[in-house]
Each structure stands twice: as structure tokens, then as C-alpha cells.
């Protein structure tokens, strides 16, 4: 007999405005306990010293996490010139200094060098695995971690202003896998200075924006618990205390707004749920798919709910991930 999963079947997305000082894993665990969900994950790590949008997937929404992580992200960060640090943010130790403070003109002239498809070396203190171990674990043990450059895409990189001669604020629109800490470090070096990120906020992940986000403090208000009770909340019976929290649970398909959707009949939905492809047998079927790209992804919907993520191939919808509501 299989062991019953702990928690309840809760499916959807919570768009958390992650607070300063909390890891992404800690944030996921808090939200999972809050909703008493069987399963949870997140759509892209945020460092403890970063704040902002952390999409948290509950239940069947975890099947759509890869599509969220592939989405475009926007950030705002403060770059402090004069000190390079081991972690490339304010948490690390100073390893180099510079008296150079770039002018606005120099910065704006340098930014185009970092737009487009570029090579970037991730920070030594990152979650990338090296020989089966996390780079940050090796770095904390005093080892020098040599990470290979990765190709990333920066869509937009602009100077938003100066706080003082030592600190400038930037806004970035990037693709998957871009490290803002590395971007700040490399910009400072390009300008003949040294630097590290002293503040970082993620403004959006794909279609998830600040307007859709809720803070942990707001969730605490919803369930009338203080911070200590929230962290140690007993999953058993949690839902009985927080029915209002479910208004902050977004449908699974919210993560897939940029993927074309198609409404299916009940019979077609049953075929997809059983793992079988849906063929386009009639002319009206072909007309429905005229706008879709061969090999492209399609959200198969039935009665307003996501049935499966599918791929359109050779006149058929082929199930890729079936969603079990």
C-alpha cells in the first residue's frame, strides 16, 4: 500500500514578494505549510539579500515551473563602486578596492557592451553544481571555484540614477540564467573600477508582476498569526484558519499566458488525460490550429481549466505534461 502524501491537494501559484534575509527555500516552506499543500516549488531562486517577485508553485502548478523559469525577468539593483567582494554582494568580504568613480557619461557609454547575447561567469557563491557539490558550499570551505562562462541574454540595461557618487541604480531586463551580481561586478570592472551589488529587487518573472504579489506580512494579516507562529505553523488544520488566503492562489494556467490556448471537447480532454494525442480529423480542427507553430507548445483547456501542456506535431496535439485537477 502506498503511503498517503502529507498535506492537502492544493494547486496554483502564489506570487510572493520575498522579504530581505530569507532564502527562497525558506519562503517556499512557509507558503507550503500555510496552505497545507502536498507539494511546492518556486520559479527562480532569489538570494537572501534580494527582495521581490518569487513565484511559488503549489501542487500541479509545479509541473509548469520550467516554463516560468524560462520567462523574461526584470530587476532593479544598486551597484556600489569602490569595493569588490567575494560574493559580489554586500554579504561577502572585500577582496579588492578602487578609487575610480565612473561618471554618468562613462556608465551610459559602457552599458551597450552588456546588452544582447553575452558571456557571463556566475558568482563563486552560487547554487551551480561543481563535481556534485554546490559552488557556494565549496566557496564557504575556502576553495577557489572556477566556473565556466555561460551565454545569457540581456534585453535592456539602463542607468536609473545615482544615490551618491559611490552608488548607482540600474534596471535590467534579462533572460534565463542571468546573475545580477555578475552583471554589476563586470560593469564595474569594465569601467576601470571595482563594485558589488548593495541592493537587489526582482520586479517581475514572466507575467508575474508586483501588482500580483503579496508579502509574507500580508499573508500573516490574512491568517491573524504573528511571524513566529507562521514559521512554525502546524500543517494539520492550517486550512481551517486561512480560507481568505485562497484568494491569493492564482490558477495554474496563469503561468502560461504567453503560450497559445485551445478549448477542447470533453472527449478530447479525456484522451489527453489518459496520455493519448488528439488528432485533427476535421477541417474545423485544422482551422483551430492554423495560428499555432508546428512543434510549438499549446495549452489544452477544458471547461476553463488547464488539461495538459501539449506540443502540436504532425496534425496532432501530443501531451507533454498532464495536469490532474
Q: Residue 110 belongs to what H/E stretch?
A: helix 104-110
82/256 Cα distance (integer angstroms): 42
Going by C-alpha positions, the residue among 253, 233, 230, 238 that lies closest to residue 8 is: 238
83/142 Cα distance (integer angstroms): 20
CA within 13 Å, CB half, 151: 2
The DSSP call for residue 7 is S
For residue 34, the model assigns a pLDDT of 84
Distances from the Cα of 37 to the Cαs of 46, 69, 224, 230, 236, in angstroms?
A: 22, 21, 19, 15, 10
Give the contacts of 98 (CB within 8 A, at least 6 positions apart). 81, 82, 83, 84, 188, 192, 193, 194
Per the CB < 8 A criterion, the answer to whether 259 and 298 are in contact is: yes
Q: How far apart are the first and last CA of the chain?
A: 23
Tell me which residue has cell 556608465: 107
Residue burial 12-36, b: 16+ Cβ < 10 Å; e: rest: bbbbbbbbeebebeebbebbbbbbb
Give the residue numbers annotated as catalytic, written as ranges: 47
The structural domains of the chain, ordered by start, are 12-70+207-253 (3.30.70), 73-205 (3.30.2350.10), 259-322 (2.30.130.10)
Per the CB < 8 A criterion, the answer to whether 172 and 80 are in contact is: no
Give the contacts of 224 (CB within 8 A, at least 6 positions apart). 241
| Tens of pLDDT, residue by residue, the chain (325 residues) | 455 567 788 999 999 999 999 999 999 999 998 888 999 999 988 989 999 999 999 999 999 999 888 889 999 999 999 999 999 999 999 999 999 999 999 999 999 999 999 999 988 766 666 666 676 666 676 667 777 889 999 999 999 999 999 999 999 999 999 999 999 999 999 999 999 999 999 999 999 999 999 998 887 677 554 334 444 444 444 444 456 677 888 999 998 888 888 888 899 899 999 999 988 655 555 555 556 667 788 888 998 889 999 988 877 889 999 998 7
Tell me which residue has cell 512543434: 295
Amino acid at each position: 500500500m502506498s503511503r498517503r502524501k502529507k498535506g492537502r491537494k492544493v494547486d496554483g501559484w502564489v506570487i510572493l514578494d520575498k522579504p530581505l534575509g530569507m532564502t527562497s527555500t525558506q519562503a517556499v516552506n512557509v507558503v507550503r505549510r500555510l496552505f497545507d499543500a502536498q507539494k511546492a516549488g518556486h520559479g527562480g531562486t532569489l538570494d537572501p539579500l534580494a527582495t521581490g517577485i518569487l513565484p511559488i508553485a503549489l501542487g500541479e502548478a509545479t509541473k509548469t515551473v520550467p516554463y516560468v523559469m524560462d520567462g523574461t525577468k526584470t530587476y532593479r539593483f544598486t551597484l556600489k563602486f569602490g569595493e569588490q567582494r567575494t560574493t559580489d554582494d554586500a554579504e561577502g568580504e572585500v577582496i579588492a578596492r578602487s578609487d575610480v568613480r565612473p561618471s554618468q557619461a562613462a556608465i551610459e557609454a559602457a552599458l551597450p557592451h552588456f546588452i544582447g547575447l553575452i558571456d557571463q561567469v556566475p558568482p563563486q557563491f552560487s547554487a551551480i553544481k561543481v563535481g556534485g557539490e554546490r559552488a557556494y558550499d565549496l566557496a564557504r570551505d575556502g576553495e577557489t571555484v572556477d566556473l565556466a562562462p555561460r551565454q545569457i541574454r540581456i534585453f535592456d540595461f539602463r542607468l536609473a540614477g545615482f544615490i551618491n557618487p559611490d552608488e548607482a541604480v540600474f534596471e535590467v531586463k534579462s533572460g534565463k540564467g542571468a546573475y545580477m551580481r555578475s552583471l554589476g561586478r563586470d560593469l564595474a570592472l569594465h569601467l576601470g573600477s571595482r563594485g558589488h551589488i548593495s541592493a537587489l529587487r526582482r520586479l517581475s518573472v514572466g507575467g508575474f508582476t508586483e501588482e500580483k504579489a503579496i508579502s509574507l506580512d500580508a499573508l500573516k494579516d490574512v491568517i491573524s498569526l504573528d511571524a513566529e507562529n507562521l514559521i512554525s505553523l502546524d500543517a494539520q488544520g492550517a486550512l481551517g484558519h486561512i480560507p481568505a488566503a485562497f484568494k491569493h492562489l492564482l490558477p495554474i494556467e496563469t503561468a502560461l499566458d504567453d503560450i497559445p490556448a485551445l478549448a477542447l471537447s470533453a472527449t478530447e480532454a479525456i484522451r489527453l488525460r489518459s496520455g493519448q494525442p488528439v488528432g485533427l480529423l476535421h477541417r474545423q480542427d485544422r482551422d483551430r490550429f492554423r495560428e499555432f507553430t508546428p512543434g510549438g507548445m499549446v495549452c489544452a483547456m477544458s471547461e476553463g481549466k488547464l488539461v495538459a501542456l501539449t506540443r502540436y506535431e504532425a496534425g496532432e496535439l501530443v501531451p507533454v505534461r498532464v495536469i490532474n485537477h
